[in-house]
Amino acid sequence: MSLNIVNNMSASLGGYIKDIKNTNSTSCFAEKVQKAKQTKNSTKSAEKKESAVNEYKRKHPNDTYTVNRQVNAGKTVLSKNSADKVSREDMTMEEYKSFITNLMNCIAFHPTQQNNTEIWSISEKGWEQMKNDPDYEAWVLGYTSLNRSVNIPFGLSGAGCFCTENFGASIEEHIGQSVPQGGFNKTFKSSDKEEESWWEKRHKLYKEMLKKQIENAVKKRLENQICVQKQYYANALAKKDGLTIIEPLVNKNHIF
């Protein structure tokens, strides 16, 4: 009787130990699979995170010197503003956009470009690339810094240029354009039938819009004056007849 009990206990203990071994081996196998997946994913992430700067230099080796110079200029901008010590990972995208915008606004123009008007933009994919690619971020800032530092002969004596700088997720996507304010053909037009320049059309449209705004403001002011006069006469009549005086209704939204 006691021998059977011992045998049963031994069998149960053996089964328990066997189950533990199987569980441990299964757990170890699962951990190995998980680690393999993590390694694979990290390898893929590393492949995806190749710098846009390195990619461009690999495709255009002849431009390596220029690109390196632009990246170094951008790192100088970051260092001067102590922005190289700020973690981008802790920022939301809106915070990052504000952060870069402030840096771009800190980059000064050469005195000969003081009459220029510059409008720059970055695509959504461009923002993502900059936030996750320090070298590309430095390239955008460095390109802007070097571009604004160019000494333009006779720049102070002219009307300046209207410049647009559009950045994407790679250096190849960057498009920069500059148009003299007043247009290319202002001096050389031989007749009034020639097509107006883009800048002249924009300036004319702006003048028309401003004229309409002034006309609307004057109209509102006259309407307000008429309203005040009506209330004045109404109050005078009410006072004469011993009625309650009505406070004048003044339109406070006019701009004059």
Residue 248 CB contacts under 8 Å (≥ 6 apart), including other chains = 228, 231, 232, 235
Give the C-alpha distances (Å, rounded to integers) separating 132 from 27, 87, 126.
Answer: 35, 11, 10
Helix (H, G, I), strand (E, B) or coil at 27: helix
Produce one character per residue of 195-213: b if its CB has 16 or more CB atoms within 10 Å, e if not.
eebebeeeeeeeeeeeeee
* Structural domain boundaries in the chain: 1-48, 52-180, 201-256
Across the beta sheet with 161-167, what order do the strands follow?
117-122, 161-167, 175-180
Please provide residue 162's backbone torsions phi and psi, each rounded to the nearest 5 degrees.
-100, 115
Tokens of 19: 């189950």
Tokens of 138: 């430095």
Give the C-alpha distances (Å, rounded to integers) separating 214 from 250, 253, 256.
Answer: 20, 14, 10
Q: What is the pLDDT along the chain (256 residues), one digit of tens a residue?
A: 444 544 555 555 566 555 555 555 545 545 654 665 565 554 444 445 789 999 999 999 999 999 999 999 999 999 999 999 999 999 999 999 999 999 999 999 999 888 889 999 999 999 999 999 999 999 999 999 999 999 987 766 667 888 999 999 999 999 999 888 865 444 434 444 455 655 566 667 666 776 777 777 778 888 887 887 778 777 777 776 666 555 555 454 444 4
Nearest Cα to Cα of residue 184 among 207, 156, 157, 162: 162
